[in-house]
């Protein structure tokens, strides 16, 4: 089973950009569809963006459409989330996640999560 570790979070101002990374351990990273979720206190963890194992298909939730870009480097076992024009509503803990079977744009197939990285956007 793959293990995931996020990095790149921090405190930024509205309008800034940030790139999150997720390093995966194990030799089977390329067999997983991957995704980014985010969660605020007291709320459910919500799917933000997802990418197929070969990068041919991507999915974006409405919250990130046009501002976020998900990508992956299977040679380096890394997943990325480029976030542009950040808003205070983007403040959350961001998690990367992996799944091996199920619709790309639905939350339920993602069963493997990292520990998360905090993103805080000030007004």
Tell me: the pLDDT tens digits for 32-50? 999 999 999 999 999 999 9
**Beta 3-7 vs 58-60: how paired, if at all?**
unpaired
Contact 120, 18 (CB under 8 A): no
C-alpha–C-alpha distance, residues 3 and 12, integer Å: 28
The strand pairing partners of 113, in sequence order, are: 97
* DSSP state for residue 88 in the 8-state scheme: G
Tell me: the pLDDT tens digits for 68-88? 999 999 999 999 999 999 999
């Amino acid at each position: 089973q793959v293990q995931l570790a996020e990095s790149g979070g921090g405190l930024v101002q509205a309008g800034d950009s940030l790139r999150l990374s997720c390093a995966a351990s194990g030799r089977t990273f390329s067999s997983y569809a991957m995704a980014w979720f985010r969660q605020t206190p007291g709320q459910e963890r919500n799917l933000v963006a997802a990418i197929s194992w070969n990068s041919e298909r991507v999915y974006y939730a409405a919250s990130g459409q046009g501002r976020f870009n998900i990508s992956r480097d299977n040679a380096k076992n890394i997943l990325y989330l480029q976030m542009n024009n950040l808003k205070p509503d983007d403040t959350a803990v961001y998690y990367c996640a992996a799944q091996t079977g199920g619709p790309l744009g639905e939350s339920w197939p993602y069963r493997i999560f990292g520990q998360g990285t905090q993103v805080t956007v000030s007004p």
